[in-house]
């Protein structure tokens, strides 16, 4: 199972180099507040509009507003078809019953667009790879701390909540995400070809460290403007590309990398070391 959309990578602009601080400093302790389930009717606090922001496979995403603050949010409406054994007056029905359940998911409205679009829109204004990587690292660290593997971390799934210079970057699209129950418990090859980790392409089961590989690929792209692994024939993933990924073979060609400080090479290469601890 793979997501084969071909993203348009931005051209390399004049950007400050990432500070060479140790990679582990990018990660912080996860947010430990318990999630709260709202049991009241959503229209008590929010005005639900008919404006469809996105039409997904499982349902619509509607634009809604908080009645008191006017803050805009997005409401994802998923309709789930459930097959179950009905119980009537203490006696099991002989036939399975089919019912429907609407699942309302209340999320932030991400008006700032995708990561690359946000960078391009800023033009010559300062952009720091360090701040971006810190935000992505915090999101991954939080997911891993609660035993969740995202499995599809890529720039298209990194959205800003506004177009302001101080906008927050958030990780989205958990369609491939899965809870980790035991070590190396993931088996389905869920990925987008540019960012797929070697173990996901192999025959063995894998773990959440596949997300750390994606982190390294995104860092590479932010610094030079193109991915470390791609097909020269326009394919989503070619045999040669797969071979390079599985061997972990990537290069730092000039002129894009000539102005990147030497210490950064070791920061990128150290992703593999940190992947070994993401279990």
Residues assigned a catalytic role = 152
Which residues are paired to 81 by β-bridges?
Answer: 100
Distance CA 187, CA 200 (A): 8
Distance CA 17, CA 14 (A): 9
CB 211 within 8 A of CB 205: no
| Residues in the chain, total | 279
Closest CA to 120 of 88, 155, 85, 151: 155
**Omega of the bond prior to 204 within 30 degrees of 0, cis?**
no
The residue assigned the tokens 């998911």 is 105
Phi first, then psi: give them for residue 142, nearest 5 degrees. -65, -45
- Do the strands 148-149 and 113-114 form a parallel or antiparallel pair, or are they unpaired? unpaired
**Contact partners, residue 87, CB within 8 Å, separation at least 6:** 93
Instruction: Provide the token pair at 65.
Output: 């507003």
Instruction: Provide the token pair at 273.
Output: 């070391």
Distance CA 154, CA 70 (A): 31
CB 162 within 8 A of CB 193: no
């Amino acid at each position: 199972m793979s997501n084969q959309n071909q993203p348009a990578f931005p051209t390399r602009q004049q950007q400050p180099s990432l500070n060479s601080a140790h990679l582990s400093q990018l990660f912080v302790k996860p947010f430990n507040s318990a999630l709260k389930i709202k049991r009241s009717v959503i229209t008590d606090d929010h005005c639900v509009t008919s404006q469809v922001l996105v039409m997904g496979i499982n349902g619509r995403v509607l634009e809604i507003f908080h009645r008191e603050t006017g803050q805009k949010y997005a409401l994802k409406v998923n309709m789930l078809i459930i097959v179950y054994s009905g119980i009537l007056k203490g006696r099991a029905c002989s036939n399975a019953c089919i019912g429907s359940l609407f699942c309302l998911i209340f999320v932030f409205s991400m008006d700032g667009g995708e990561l690359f679009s946000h960078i391009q829109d800023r033009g010559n204004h300062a952009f720091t790879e360090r701040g971006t990587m810190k935000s992505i690292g915090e999101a991954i660290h939080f997911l891993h701390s609660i035993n969740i593997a995202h499995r599809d971390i890529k720039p298209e799934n990194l959205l800003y909540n506004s177009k302001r210079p101080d906008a927050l970057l958030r990780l989205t699209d958990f369609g491939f995400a899965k809870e980790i129950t035991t070590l190396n418990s993931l088996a389905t090859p869920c990925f987008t070809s540019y960012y797929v980790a070697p173990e996901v392409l192999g025959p063995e089961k894998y773990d959440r460290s596949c997300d750390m590989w994606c982190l390294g690929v995104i860092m590479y792209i932010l610094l030079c403007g193109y991915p470390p692994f791609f097909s020269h024939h326009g394919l989503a993933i070619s045999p040669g590309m797969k071979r390079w990924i599985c061997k972990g073979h990537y290069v730092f060609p000039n002129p894009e990398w000539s102005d990147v400080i030497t210490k950064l090479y070791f920061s990128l290469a150290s992703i593999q070391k940190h992947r070994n601890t993401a279990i």
